[in-house]
Structure 1
């Protein structure tokens, strides 16, 4: 199950996100999304957990929890939208 985590502190790192969710079970991947120019966190990330029940428990327990002075939101991630491909040719 892929989870979307928002309202993370701007100093929150990917490793911290993984450790937070590992308390609930196996984590396949974790990523805090960063600005590509400044490399600063955008305040959200994604966590993938292979076990549905562990992921749901983590989502229910962590949603609304205060982490580093901010109340985080944890929901099931929506699949990415199809984006039109742009070509440099005219």
Structure 2
């Protein structure tokens, strides 16, 4: 399972997220997508932890928490849809 973390400050680093989530267990991976054109962080990221119970605890505790001047949105990440990019749907 992976955790979606939204409404992040554009100044957040992978190390920042690693630190916050490590309070709830072992963090296996952190990913912060970057906009292709601007090379700027997109305001959301993904965290993968070593167990489902650790992820559940982190989600319950951090969803809605204030961090770096923003209210985080934290929930289970939804699987990525197959089928290419959005332009293919129109």
Give the TM interval when normalised to the shorter protein. Answer: 0.7 to 0.9
Aligned length: 85
Q: What do the CA deviations read for 1:36-85 (whole angstroms, capped 9, x no partner)?
A: 23221100000011211111000000000001110000000011100248
The answer for unaligned runs of 5 or more in structure 2 is 86-90
Q: Is the 8 A contact 1:7 1:43 kept in 2?
A: yes
Higher helix share: 2
Which residue in 2 is equivalent to 1:12? 12
Structure 1: unaligned runs, 5 residues or longer: 86-90
TM-score, structure 1 length as denominator?
0.88
Q: In 2, distance between residues paired with 1:6 and 1:84?
A: 23
Query: What secondary structure does 2:19 align onto?
Result: helix
* Structural RMSD (CA): 1.3
> In structure 1, what is the Cα distance between the partners aligned to 2:84 and 2:73?
29
